[in-house]
Every structure is written in structure tokens, then in C-alpha cells.
Amino acid sequence: MEHYIEHGPAFAWLRVKLRPGVELQGEAGAMVRMDPQVVMTTHLNAPQNAGFFYKIWALLVAFMRKVLGGETMFVNRFTSGSAGEIVLAPTLSGHIIHHQLTAGRRLFVQTGSYLASAGAINTQVRLGGLRTLFGGEGLVLLECSGEGDLWVNSYGGVVPIEVNGSFIVDTGHIVAFDGALDFKVKSVGGIKSFFFSGEGLVCEFRGRGTIYVQSRNLKALVSWLSPLLPS
């Protein structure tokens, strides 16, 4: 799909040229501007070919995530009867990267990092680690596979890190990673939780593959600002 990532790496936005017959899916709330002939429809955040019971499960997961983390339950789909342009942007400062997904290659994306997709992409929610859904912590991942375009955003800059062995990342700093890597979420509790800018939840990766790490973290921002807030 014809697209342009502009104003990066600090405040990137995604400009897509829609042609008749193609559809762009974007996270709710991401639309910046669009030509008047572009049509927007809103859908529950579940794969298009999902069955009824999966939809109920997705609704429950999405509802819990919204209550706990402010994430949106819905996605918007954009089509255009004639050539038209649409621009999407994430909420936080940072960059956008494009992945071309091809058959056989999986990419795990942290749900907050998902911005948009197009083509025949399947996304399945994977809950990584302990205390995930109900603690509001942990890693909520989208396992993406299929063929098509995928756009993810980072809070801050994004650095691709090649892993060949073993590597540890604070969970709040994960944008996406190769499906080929083994990963395990660990709770680094007690005094060691001060190591990391998040809450002491880290992800240990093993194997060979690429991890996309973002240089800023929303929970670290909150920790930094909280003592400065008036009551």
C-alpha cells in the first residue's frame, strides 16, 4: 500500500493513499486528516474471520484492557471510492515503523504499539507473563501473521537490537519482536524492581532475532511526574 511516514523520528505520522477496493485498518482515535471521499467505519477489535465465541472473548479482553489501561476497544476501517488520502498518528511522541509481513514470519507487537494494518493479517491476543489482565501489568501482545502491511509506533525513538543469545528488556520498552525468539516475562520483585524504569517486569529473550526497543516508557513518565503533582 502506498504510504509515507513523515515528521519522524520525533513525531511521526502515517500518510496513506487509498485506492478503490483496498482497506486500511487503524487504531481508534488515530485519524488526523482525511479527504472528504474517504469513508470510515468502526468495528470491534477482533480479526475479521473470527468466530462468534472468539468475538465474545475479544470483547471481554478489550473491555478489561480499557478499564485498566485506557486502551480502545474498537478499530476504524477506511475505504475510498476514488483515490483519497488519510493520515493517522499515534497518541505519544515518537516514531512509526513499517513491517511487510510475509507468510511464515510472525511478529509480536505490544498492543499499545499497534497503529494500523492492511492486507490479510491475522492478529491474536497473547497474554505474556503473570498478573496480566487483572493486575493491569504484564505484557499484552498481538501475534501478527499473514501477508500485508503493519505499522507500529514507539514512544520515543526505536532501536532495533539483534539478539544472539540472551537479552533482557523492561516490558514497558518493548515495541515488537521476531516470532522466532523465545520469551519469558519475569517479575523482578523486591529491591531489584528499582533497576528498571517500569515496575520491575522484564522480558527475557533467548535465541536469534530482532527486538524493537523504544527509548521511553509511559510508566516511567508517570513515576517521574507523580511526586510533582499537586494534590
Interface ranges with another protein (CB under 8 A): 6-7, 9-13, 27-36, 38, 40-42, 70, 72-74, 76, 89-94, 156-157, 159, 161, 165-170, 173, 191-192, 194-197, 204, 211, 213, 215-231
CB of 207 to another protein, least distance (A): 13
**In which residue are the cell numbers 480479526 written?**
47
Question: How distant is the alpha carbon of residue 213 from its chain centre?
Answer: 12
CA–CA dist 16, 78 (Å, integer): 10
Q: Return the number of the residue (100 or 189) whose C-beta is nearest another protein.
A: 189
CB of 175 to another protein, least distance (A): 12
Q: Return the number of the residue (31 or 133) whose C-beta is nearest another protein.
A: 31
Residue 72 φ then ψ, to 5°: -90, 150
CB of 169 to another protein, least distance (A): 4
Q: How many CA atoms lie within 13 A of 23 on its CB side?
A: 12
Q: Return the number of the residue (101 or 155) whose C-beta is nearest another protein.
A: 155
Q: Return the number of the residue (92 or 181) whose C-beta is nearest another protein.
A: 92
CA–CA dist 79, 86 (Å, integer): 10
Helix (H, G, I), strand (E, B) or coil at 104: coil
Helix (H, G, I), strand (E, B) or coil at 129: coil
CB of 143 to another protein, least distance (A): 21
CA–CA dist 25, 43 (Å, integer): 10
The grid coordinates of residue 44 equal: 470491534
Q: Return the number of the residue (28 or 50) whose C-beta is nearest another protein.
A: 28
CA–CA dist 231, 227 (Å, integer): 10
Q: Return the number of the residue (9 or 146) whose C-beta is nearest another protein.
A: 9
CB of 64 to another protein, least distance (A): 15
CB of 215 to another protein, least distance (A): 4
For residue 221, how many other CB atoms are within 10 A of its CB?
A: 15
**In which residue are the cell numbers 511526574 written?**
225
Question: How distant is the alpha carbon of residue 77 from its chain centre?
Answer: 17
Q: Return the number of the residue (42 or 48) whose C-beta is nearest another protein.
A: 42
CA–CA dist 116, 1 (Å, integer): 12
CB of 69 to another protein, least distance (A): 8
